[in-house]
Structure 1
Amino acid sequence: MPAATGRHRVTRKRFTAAAVALAALGGGTVYAIDSSADSAQAASGCAAYESITMGKYWINNNTWGSDQGTGWSCVWDSYRSGNTIGWGTNYEWSGQSNAVKSYASSVLGWHWGWKSKDTGLPVKLSAKTPVRSTWAFKVTDSTDSVYNVAYDMWLHDTADTDWQSTPKHEVMVWLDKDGGAGPLGTKKQRVKIAGAYWDLYVGNIGWNVYSFVRVGNTTSVDFNLDDFLQALVRRSLVSKTDYLSSVEAGTEVFTGKAQLDTTAYSTNVG
């Protein structure tokens, strides 16, 4: 479930595994390319909540806000080489321009339950465990699309989480945005992390949502995600006794038609 973000405040909806497949896709064929000897079997899908396992990650065609509009979203894998993966998504959505329709994403760790083992998660923030992540991507915007490309991290107050566990905090790191997309909450301050400036927004939707929005878009990063978490600890916004249980990376889509291609992505804990 992605963050409740938008150009205005957006009502958040809980992930539900019982969501039905989209009725009308209308999006053409998706082609998956397998270019690695260590690659997972090429796969693609356009059903709501389609799941593609890629080693310790899984790709989630998360269409949690589809009832706020009309359209479709598809996902596919490209390759896997060790802990590095390539994957993609394309979509076309209409409807409320301030409501997220989908968050196709790579998931490492918890997402209302656990799919994969050996993720290195959860980790307690007091340990200051490195969470090194690299991500290179390209957005092909064929129409006026309102979207972001962002990490979504989930924090709990316990290491023992399952499908019923409610998050304590949600932390987003926005790398790219277009069409007027903006985060939930109020801008609090500008901070410098990993050699770039970020505007920090704070909101609440039953749990706290902290969004770091990069000042100037980028399509490539190599940094330690724990630096963002420790920035919140220093500001007493989250507790050092909290646990990072999940790292997701994908695109929140409000409206429009486009394609996101991840050419290389990895997140390694420890």
Structure 2
Amino acid sequence: MGALDGRVAVITGAGRGIGREHALLFAAEGAAVVVNDLGGANDGTGADTTPAQEVADEIRASGGQAVANSANVTSWADAASLIDQAVSEFGRLDVVVNNAGILRDAFVAGMTEEQWDAVIAVHLKGHVAVLHHAAAYWKSRAKSGSRVAASVINTASASGTTMPNPGQVNYGAAKAGIAAMTLVAAQELERYGVRVNAIAPIARTRLTLATPGMGAIFAQEVAEGEFDAFSPANISPLVAYLATEKCPITGKVFAVQGEAISELAGWHDVRVVETEGPWRIEDIAARLP
């Protein structure tokens, strides 16, 4: 018996890296998987159906259930077709893992509009487009009296939560938005039987290897037999657990890397100053620093 027996999952960006590890583990644990990947380059340009197809073929060769999908998650219509394919192929949908992402790093003073728009589109719109159509499906099922026990796992980042990274204002903003979106969606969708969580992973991928100042760290070789703290396979067990039918967790963001999982908390008061009556600028200047 697998932890995900009978579950049907859509996983975006599943042709390589962390997403590929998700797809392989989900299938090994009994889930039927729609392997979505546009197959573009690190910056989102181009398209290639090969990565998604190869992962789906690998799963089927191992006795699992999978189909490939090359929808572009930045398209509302493509996101709808992705959800529709899961239901038409496997009869239902239980899990969405939003993982697709790109990089177009630049310092804010030199960033182009295209660099901003592309990253926000793939990460933030790409998450919400798939989530929207999945949520509409689950809402319809719940309203018709069907039991829903669904799960969404979004992919944030340390760049948008605990470790802002210069040169990634677009990526960090998108990832922070994903974390906030997760908390809102968890409250909205609980009534329909849907849990929503997010992870902020640190692992060796095409994107992290291409990140200035970080690539050398992730590229360090690990001796045979030693634990590889940056392997993307370390991320997937948490995602698989959050996808299980009886997992009770919702509305959480977890950092995960190597041997460590930590729960993150958002903005909170660290110090409060108050006044009696209206504020004066000089009072603020004297008391706020």
TM-score normalised by structure 2 residue count: 0.28
Q: Which has the higher helix share?
A: 2
TM-score normalised by structure 1 residue count: 0.29
Instruction: Considering Cα pairs closer than 8 Å and 6+ residues apart, tell me whether 1 or 2 has the greater RCO.
Output: 1
Q: Which has the higher strand share?
A: 1
